[in-house]
Structure 1
Amino acid sequence: MEELGKRIRQRREELGWTQDDLAQKFPLKSGKQTISRWESGKHEPGLADIKRLAELLDVTIIWLIEGTEPDLKVMQQPPAGYILMPAEEVVDMQRRLIKQQQDEIDRQKV
């Protein structure tokens, strides 16, 4: 995960932070030494540390680990044959359908 360390350093420097700055924002026992080990690839942060790093550095966990961002446009497209609708509209349609079915049941009882 040497690349992870490079991304930590890259983002830290983009923010204008030193290793000490990041260590102070991130409560670590060894502070700067831990940050240095992560950035050099000598040690890897655990999952909880990666999550906290992503929050502090204002990046996604995916970017920290893989160096890429998900394509949100692709993720927002519904599968073929489906459409996106606001939840309120779906709930309203369900209520109307239930009422229509109840009316049909009531008519059949007569």
Structure 2
Amino acid sequence: MDIMENIETEVMNMNISERLQELRKKEGYSQEQVAEMLGLSRQAISKWESGQGKPEIDNIIKLTEIYHVSADYILLGTEKISVPAPEKKELSHEYKKAIGIIAIIAATAIITVLFITALGLLSRLGI
């Protein structure tokens, strides 16, 4: 990692650590209680809150349930990142008509091949 990445990581850790500590205190939990809920040591929680470490994604998900906030809030300090849903594209009438015609042609071809095959088998059997 270069120096800028280290600085950005430190700033992000600091923000995450501050939010984790703030959320824990707001909910009225001790580090020991949060650690117990997550199945971790108190030292792990202490490291997160002091910026010496950061929680893995599975623990972040558990923290969202404990603190009643989104993962976006824990990681970024924002409640939600809104990403617009992609627009649904409707098929044009001409395109739908073309698909229908192709389906009819394909079905006709399959039926014709089956009919010719059946006639060939019947003629070989002498029927």
* TM superposition score category, shorter chain reference: 0.5 to 0.7
Q: State the partner residue of 1:65.
A: 75
**TM-score, reference length from structure 2:** 0.53
Shift of 1:54: 1.1
Q: Pick closer, same or farther for the CA change 1:71–1:42 going to 2, 3 Å.
A: closer
Give aligned pairs, total.
Answer: 87
- Is the radius of gyration larger for structure 1 or structure 2? 2
**Percentage of identical aligned residues:** 29
Aligned residue among 15, 20, 23 for 2:35: 23
Q: What is the CA–CA distance in structure 2 between the aligned matches of 1:64 and 1:13, rounded to whole Å?
A: 14
The residue type paired with residue 3 of structure 1 is: N
Shift of 1:65: 0.3
The residue type paired with residue 41 of structure 1 is: G
The residue type paired with residue 23 of structure 1 is: A
Structure 1 or 2: more helix by fraction: 2
* Runs of 5+ unmatched residues, structure 1: 83-110
The residue type paired with residue 77 of structure 2 is: G
Deviations 1:27-81 (CA, angstroms, capped at 9, x unpaired): 11xx110000000010111111111111111110000000111277x969xx7xx
Q: What is the CA–CA distance in structure 1 between the aligned matches of 2:35 and 2:84, rounded to whole Å?
A: 35
Shift of 1:10: 0.2
Contact in 1 for aligned 2:70/2:80 (Cα 8 Å): no
Q: What is the CA–CA distance in structure 1 between the aligned matches of 2:43 and 2:81, rounded to whole Å?
A: 35
Following TM superposition, where does structure 1 have runs of at least 4 consecutive aligned residues deviating by more than 6 angstroms? none
Q: State the partner residue of 2:8.
A: none
Q: What is the SS of the residue equivalent to 1:21?
A: helix
Q: State the partner residue of 1:5.
A: 17
- Computed over aligned residues only, the root mean square deviation of the Cα atoms, in angstroms, reads 3.0
Q: What is the SS of the residue equivalent to 1:17?
A: coil
**TM-score, reference length from structure 1:** 0.61
Q: What is the CA–CA distance in structure 1 between the aligned matches of 2:61 and 2:81, rounded to whole Å?
A: 20
